[in-house]
Structures are given as C-alpha cells and as structure tokens.
Amino acid sequence: MAHYFVGDIQGCFEELQRLLSKVDFNPSQDQLWAVGDLVARGPGSLETLRFFQQLDGSARVVLGNHDLHLFAVNAKIKRANPSDHLGPLLSAPDIDSLIGWLRLQPLYQEFPEHKLIMTHAGVPPQWELDTLRTEADRVSAALQSHDYISSLIGQMYTNGSNRWHDSMTTVERNIYCINALTRMRFLHSDGSLDFGCKLPPAACQDPDLSPWFEHAGIINQTHTLVFGHWAAVMGNVPSTSIQALDTGCCWGEHLTLWHLESNQKITQSRLKKS
C-alpha cells in the first residue's frame, strides 16, 4: 500500500485527478491523505467532496479553515466569499450528505506506524500529543452534535482566543484549537497566535513574529508533522520532520503530492482557464 499526502486542493479537482493519474493511484490498494481546505477558490469543490466521500476508507482527511467556513455559509450565518466558487456545491442535491460527511472529519490524523501527525495549519509548539488529541477530539465532538452551528461554528469567528493557558473556558479552548490547527502561521515571541501577517517568512519585517515551525516544538521531536494552509511558504521549511504541502494551486502555482514511502514529491501545475 502506498500513502500519498496532498496539499490544499481548494476545489482544484481537475488538477487533483491529473496528479493522482501520475502516480497511478489505486483506491483499492493506496491511501490518500488530504491536509484540509478541500473546497473554496477552485471551480470543482462539489466534485472534490464527492470524490473524497466515495473514497471512504481509502482517504484520510482533516478539516481546514475553508471547510469549517463552508458549514457557516451553508447554514446562512455567513456569506460566501465572492472569490470562492461554492455555488454548484451549495445548490447540489446531495449537499446535506456532503456536509454530514464533512462534519465527521477530524482536525488531526495520526499515523502511529510512521509516527506522523497531519493537521491543516500545524500544531502549537507547546502542545504534547495528548493535548492535541484531547483538544481536537473535543472540537470534533462539538462539530458532530445536533447544535454544532450555534455552539461551535457561530462562535469561532474571533481572534480573541490566541494564547494557550490553563484557565481558558471550554469555549475558549475550542476556539483556540480551531485557530491553531486551521489558521496558524506566525507566532509572537510569547507564543500567541498572529492572524495579520500572511507573508512568506523571509518577507515578514516584524521582529516579534516568527513561523510556528521555527519555535521549539514538542511533538515534532518524535513525529513528522504534515500541514498545508500557508501557500506563501511554498513547501520550504527548515526541518526534515515537517512537511509543508500547500503550494498555491488555487493561486496559479501547483498542487503537491508527497509519497510517504519514497519521500518524493510530485506536482501538477494549475490548469489554464478556458
């Protein structure tokens, strides 16, 4: 069995299919891992969700910030970003089934045999593995509850829970977990999350900010961390124990597939619009 990890698809379904054909992906034998943001700016969000739903046990997915935003848009508590192409998905006859499937997807995936952790944006450096499991599993339980829109999705649009501490309420812990695992890029020197700067690391001029993966982390001392989310990084990280897979396909760059067993990366450039 081969294990392939793909960066942020964001509705770039045709590029995904071409990429998988390059490696002769066979769902009866291989497994496809996706770092989240299955939907949004590309034209094929509907096809992407249907594809992963049909893969069933041959796919391992984590939720990204755009996937979480889809829940709010579908519930009509937020409007779709004009630059997203969610119309066909939102009006699809199987939208309820697709939303139900997406709600079952976690914020992290663990591959114990290879000591590997996959999240959308990364893992807070100060978190141990048990903390990741506890916090992310609680968010998943809330997401799968009947009142998930009011109790979780409707409350997650805040930058307030940006620093981890023991006295946080359950709501604050859930929001911090979502912010850290799906939105994190730069951290301040005190470890708090920064939501303003989205530049490449070398272009950031704020001396108090540095990429989360440059902070001394606990989990990446024992595990490989796989993440996406930060297209400006373009896969360039300073550690062999971290794999950055978002290479900006939806922004005109390319989609990246990492083959775990051979440690090789295969890419597919963004297709030109007709």
Domain boundaries, the chain: 3-269
Which amino acid is residue 212, in one-letter code?
W
Nearest to residue 43, comparing CAs of 70, 67, 14? 14
Superfamily covering domain 3-269: Metallo-dependent phosphatases (3.60.21.10)
At residue 274, the pLDDT reads: 45
- The DSSP string of 29-51 is T-EEEE-S--SSSSS-HHHHHHH
Give the distance from CA 243 to its chain's centroid.
13
Are the C-beta atoms of residues 228 and 7 closer than 8 Å to each other?
yes
Please give the model's pTM, rounded to 2 decimal places.
0.97
Q: What is the pairing mode between strands 116-119 and 186-188? A: unpaired
Are the C-beta atoms of residues 139 and 198 closer than 8 Å to each other?
no
At residue 81, the pLDDT reads: 87
Residue where the block lists tokens 């297209």: 231
- Rounded distance between C-alpha atoms, residue 147 and residue 143, angstroms: 8
Q: In a structure prediction context, what are the per-residue pLDDT tens digits for the chain, which is 274 residues long?
A: 999 999 999 999 999 999 999 999 999 999 999 999 999 999 999 999 999 999 989 999 999 999 999 999 999 999 988 889 999 999 999 999 999 999 999 999 999 999 999 999 999 999 999 999 999 999 999 999 999 999 999 999 998 889 999 899 999 999 999 999 999 999 999 999 999 999 999 999 999 999 999 999 999 999 999 999 999 999 999 988 999 999 999 999 999 999 999 999 999 999 986 4
